[in-house]
Structure 1
Amino acid sequence: MNDPEQTLWRTTCTEAVTALPLSSDTTVDLAIIGGGYTGCSAALTAARTGASVCLLEAQKIGFGGSGRNVGLVNAGLWLPPDDIRAHIGAEAGDRLIDLLGKAPSDVFSLIEEHGIACEPIRNGTLHCAHSAAGLKNLQTRHAQLSGSGAPVALLSVDQARDRTGSDAFHGALFDPRAGTIQPLAYVMGLARAASQAGAQIHEQSPVQTLRHEGGQWVLTTPGGTVRAKSVIQATNAYHLGLPDTAPAYVPVYYFQYATTPLSHNLRASILPQAEGCWDTGLIMTSFRLDQAGRMIIGGMGDLGNAGRSAHTGWVRRKLAELYPQLADQPFEQGWHGRIAMTSDHIPKITQIGPNALAAHGYSGRGIGPGTVFGRMMAESLIAAEPSLLPVPAVHEHRESWTRMRRAFFESGAALTHLIKARF
């Protein structure tokens, strides 16, 4: 439980893909940097069109945020619809809202089509009101989502209690489009499906240099060189090297703890329909069950620094607050991941060169948007048609005071968790 690099998802993942390090030179239509949701979705999409593809992952498939995810397959972004339209305009906003509203269907269709063993449950998600103010926020979201055609339902305090098995909430927003998965198994399944479709998948193959010369891209790794017509950089919050194309974002850390599997009696009283949940708190809490009946609870914070003890103390108290019957349930594992947050909470696609795109900034919503953005970037590059992108590509995206804001988020989370763990 003390190694945040060893996640529950890696322990329980049954999907596998053969992905040896690159050991020779190759020439392809599309080179992809990064083996998370975006990269693997792009590789699968391109390979299925008959394009030659080489995906290069510096560590292991799903090493970054994709393998540390909560596993909530949410519809849409964290922002409510009106905020999305305000940031990118009504027409572009409506298109993005529609695309990402359908993202869970895309994810679960891929799971079914390729037989991905990732514990898929599509029983919806619950956004839970932690306070009266939180309920007002959900009422606003409900109105905006309903007005945009989403089949969401606002649950009363009694309905929220019945659905969660907890007395802690003032109500909840139910989204039937969404669900839960084993997040690492999903991305491993995408990589396996891409490999079966003909894509070259290579782990332990960090890209050391990336340059455009003679009308093509040249990517060098310790074991070989890849030449490609097009490039997708899908490194998000786990970008290594390549300073000229580094994404600009605020790094936010999110941790999770998993209990040992609950007894049948305990499971019967908690989340009887197995929805994935998160609350309206400024320092958000997420909670859900996995297939084995472990309670997985998380919050903002980095388990790798001095705030670990505060986060750990808080999570024990928070679990007891939500479910008093779990107060003494032992934790089996704890881990954390890094989120790429943009100031407006809208993902960015950057044109990093001729026929080269990078995506980042899912702001904690990686599964659905990553799947959609990866697919549509591959389609756009193969067809040489920028209008196929989910959002227009920009030539540059900047974020200011990223280190200070990262420290602010972490210190705020640690202080909040320290106070709430003691009182």
Structure 2
Amino acid sequence: MHDLEEIIDQTSKGLNVAEIRSKFPVLDQEVNGKPLAYFDNAATTQKPQEVLDALNEYYENHNSNIHRGAHTLAGRATDLFEKTRSSVRAFINAPSVEEVIFTKGTTDGINLVASTFGKTYIGAGDEVIISTMEHHSNIVPWQMLCETNKAVLKIIPVSDTGELDLQAYEELLSERTKLVAVVHASNALGTINPIKKMIQLAHDRGARFLVDGAQSLAHLDVDVQDLDCDFLTFSAHKLYGPTGVGVLYGKRELLEAMPPYQGGGEMIREVTFAKTTYNDIPYKFEAGTPNIADVVAFDAALAFIRSIGKKRIQEQENQLLAHAVELCSQINGFIPVGTAREKVSVMSFTIRNMHPFDVGMMLDAAGIAVRTGHHCTQPLMDRFGLEGTVRASFAVYNTNEEIDRLYESLVRIAKRKN
């Protein structure tokens, strides 16, 4: 196995995908007697050996609680933890490490903003705007907030191709709009939304903007300063990193003005029974012992991504998506769902006269892993009049040969009903 820097085959036109795949032990197995083809990357990506090694290295050599210990192991653990924070800062081009908060995941980050910024600054009659294509984690927290604070939730409609109606969005914005929270890339359709333009329109009305980056950070270059977003949330496990770790980026002035999310250790400066004073950011929002080992291992995942480069990753994934769409569109009964012009590597579809779950089970029998159902986007499925879809989502380690197997299996499946 070569070093990360040797992943890119300089003698070829693209990536050495075989070399990349060799770094993912989980891919080298059979499922139901067939080689595994893993196309459920929008749910979670697999983890390279470097991430697995980083987890073991931490527990074998450095395990300790962080920030408050005077002994050597505590110092090592703290340095490794904060090194990841610095890597995340660079990854999204945040102005400072203090604006990078570790969470349990994208959902946790959204709930943090709803419970702090939302409850403080969004009141009766104020408005929050989300879109029809949001994941439930970017719907339910705002419903709960609006119900509690008597605010109004407004919804951006989606076109038949799976693109947001920007004219309708502009018409929804008003002087009562306090926050817009929109997904950068749809987990169910793959649509890439014009977030930068949407942020500018919101700011023109004095509103703040939260970007759900759960699906975009693995595929697209995201620069929070260029976007000028007020908040950005994402998860490590969709970036080749461990589960149970996420990031909330927030502008310093907002984070400093927001109340704490939870109370406990680390988020305090001084505690008496009369009064507690809170710690500086980011620690004000990181109560208790964090998920230290997985945060440390996340740094290895970010290094893996850097070693290949987002541009090369995106080129590989775009090629895979184009290959899949070209092949599968020839299948009798194949119905694509979400045909936006700009997409990440997600192909969502149904097979005429077949339930998505049945299609998924048949594909699993062939060793092909896809996601079926409503993808935690029930309002979006309702918009298209569907109970759910089959979703094949591609990552840098997938191959054209795997997609050929998907096509061949779908041809056999579709023949049963069409």
Q: Flag whether TM exceeds 0.5 (same fold).
A: no
Q: TM-score, normalised by structure 1?
A: 0.23
Q: TM-score, normalised by structure 2?
A: 0.23
User: Of Structure 1 and Structure 2, which has the larger fraction of its residues in strand?
Assistant: 1
User: Of Structure 1 and Structure 2, which has the larger fraction of its residues in helix?
Assistant: 2
